[in-house]
Amino acid sequence: MYCTEENKKDDCLTVMMESLYKTVDFVGKHRLFISVNGYTERTKETLAYHDVFPYPTVIWNENNLGTAEAINLCWKHRNPGEHCLKMDEDIEVYQYGWLDDLEEIVNREPSIGQAALKRVDLQESPWNESPLYKSQLVMLPHQPGQRWLMVEHVKHCLGSCVLHSSALLDKVGFLRQPLHYGLDDVLMSARSILSGYNNVFLPNILIKHLDEGNTPYQQEKERVAGEAWEEYQRWMKGYVDGTIPLYYNPFE
């Protein structure tokens, strides 16, 4: 997360934290890590307010490491067999148990590497004519007594709220991106598919993207992502032809 007085992310953080504590069981099931690339006094107050049991583990970075490397500091604490969720600080979820649903998806179908919640502004659908955005609805394997689960197979899971399976992370390691912002989710989705896994959305759970994208911060993110495009294409080519390893571990 990266909060400044200018980008108004503190407003999003407050809503997101309340959303998490209302919809996720942090007492007996899940752990919460927060990697902070930038903060204000209000950021510290918000995180201190939630510093009760169950409390988050907060990683205070000395400078802006960028999205991927900041998240990697959280994933570094992953236990064997543990799945990892990447969630932006500007997402609100309304339905209790959504994280359990994502974990059930990857546990029930081991071929799924990424399972994500789907924002309403995305283009993927079974009716989209573009090969990039055309999706397929698939019923998960089912045993008597289990609830029926349907997922949407896609090429790319937008990185707003994505669960990465333990099996995928064992094979590809950590997030990677050319510069501070953008393309980490696209690259991870590609690495997932090239490693033999599927990427899916769970489209029936409503989430809200809180950031309206009208601050100079958003414009700066888009500029940086644009500058990284050439390097992104080189990495993609390298992943496909095998000259760049799919596995990445900055801590080795």
Q: Which of 4-8, 143-147, 167-171 has the highest mean pLDDT?
A: 167-171
Q: Whole-angstrom Cα distance, residue 36 to residue 64?
A: 8
The 10s digit of each residue's pLDDT in 83-112 is 999 999 999 999 999 999 999 999 999 999
Residue 221: the pLDDT is: 63
Q: Which residue has the tokens 């990495």?
A: 235
Nearest to 103 by CA among 202, 231, 228: 202
Domain ranges of the chain: 9-241
Say which residues have a Cβ less than 8 Å from residue 132's Cβ, sequence separation at least 6: 155, 156
Residue 145: the pLDDT is: 93
CATH number of 9-241: 3.90.550.10
For residue 116, what is the enclosing H or E element? strand 112-117
The rounded mean pLDDT for the chain is 91
| Assigned token pair, 174 | 């950590």
pLDDT above 70: percentage of residues in the chain: 92
How many degrees, rounded to 5, is the angle at CA 199 between CA 188 and CA 222?
Answer: 45
Over residues 44-61, mean pLDDT: 79
Which band of pLDDT confidence, cut at 50, 70 and 90, is reported for residue 184?
A: very high
